Amino acid sequence: MRTLLLLGVVALAADVAAHHGSSEYHVDREITVTGVVQQWRWTNPHTWIYITATDTSTRTVKWSGEGPPLSWAQQRGWSDATLRAGEQVTVVMYPSRREPNAGLVKRIRRMNGEVLVVSRPWLNEQN
């Protein structure tokens, strides 16, 4: 019985960690990163974008952005083919509190001008 209870607590803790909302990010500021998509991960519970950018000293910097939940993205017509490796994008993110080159995606602008906006109503702002 104790083992079953312990497994339940561990599972609940993992679920809570996976659905952290925006608490791990500075939602009071934004960063903008332009770079090349290395990977678009179509995973549950959240999508992820990994890009390589060049900083002011022409050093290559790898960035990761937590995208919207998979179910939210699917409802808006996004798919595993929405972004492709090698595509240049500009990503606006709320910076991570823990990782220097990471953030919570607010919007992605493709080079063809299309803007993929991620809505987060709990932040109570316009995207």
Domains, the chain, with CATH or none: 23-123 (2.40.50.1010)
Residue 55 identity: D
CA pair distance 45, 63, nearest whole angstrom: 19
pLDDT digits (tens, 9 = 90+) for 52-106: 998 888 899 999 999 999 999 999 999 999 999 999 999 999 999 999 999 999 9
Interior CA angle at 16 toward 66 and 67, to 5°? 10
- pLDDT value of position 127: 44
pLDDT(29) > 90 = yes
pLDDT(42) > 90 = yes
CA pair distance 58, 9, nearest whole angstrom: 47
